[in-house]
Amino acid sequence: MAYYNPLHAPVVTTQHSGYSALTGAMSDRSSAPGASRKRLPQPPYTPSSKWQNATGRSSAVHSAVSFDYKGYSRQGVSMRDLSTRNLSVLSSMMAGGEDRVFAQSGLARITFRILWPGYSVDWARTIELSADGPITRARLAQVIAQNFSRFMEVHRNDKTTVPEFAISPTGLRFDHLVLVSLNNVFEDSWQADVVIDLR
């Protein structure tokens, strides 16, 4: 995964040479932008109760919350950074890190869900949005990363029906995950849009 320096503007492709003394040692995959990234395909949550499914609101009422490093758009933030850096550093690294993202929503809490492909478990946890004042974008990202870390720790030895997304030391690891956004999928249920970066 590339390192993003929050103190300097990103270097765009037209500003640097494609030449590298290491070209011969690098695989073809590393030369194609985005070739090592793929989306974690989580199905949107729907309740098991037919009545709730039929009467509940299934379209999003609240806008998605996006997560990016400063100077980038729709690239996401490494969950490794979210779990190892303190809140003040994260706030300065992230675009809108200090934004109170749910301040105008009227919500006090949300249900955060992980529906990892191949694992028949619905991970549902409550996220308090106003425990210490309205939650900031950076703090929300930290809480989401903590949930993914815990989920992967709990299920790392479980059998999967989708080997491509197996959680294991030789498969997908926490440091492969990039948080892109948080989306309202059903009533008070929210899921993260996550990209897997194998670099």
Which pLDDT tens digit goes with each residue over 61-119?
789 999 999 999 989 999 999 999 999 999 999 999 999 999 988 899 999 999 999 99
What does the alpha-carbon distance between residue 171 and residue 198 come to, in Å, rounded to a whole number? 10
Find the largest Cα–Cα distance for the chain.
63
Q: Name 93's Cβ contacts closer than 8 Å, sequence gap at least 6.
A: 4, 6, 69, 70, 77, 81, 85
* Banded model confidence at residue 1, pLDDT cuts 50, 70, 90: low
- CA torsion sign for 127, 132, 135, 137 is negative
Residues 40 and 196: beta-carbon distance below 8 Å = yes
Place of tokens 């946890």: 125
How distant, in Å, are the alpha carbons of 19, 20, 51, 88, 108 from that of 114? 41, 40, 23, 27, 20
Write down the pLDDT at residue 119: 95
Write down the pLDDT at residue 14: 53
Terminal CA-to-CA distance of the chain, rounded, Å? 5
Residues 176 and 167: beta-carbon distance below 8 Å = no
Which pLDDT tens digit goes with each residue over 47-74?
876 545 555 555 557 899 999 999 999 8
Q: Give which of 128, 82, 136, 85 is closest to 108, Cα–Cα.
A: 128
pTM: 0.78
Write down the pLDDT at residue 122: 87
Q: Give which of 149, 127, 162, 136 is closest to 194, Cα–Cα.
A: 149
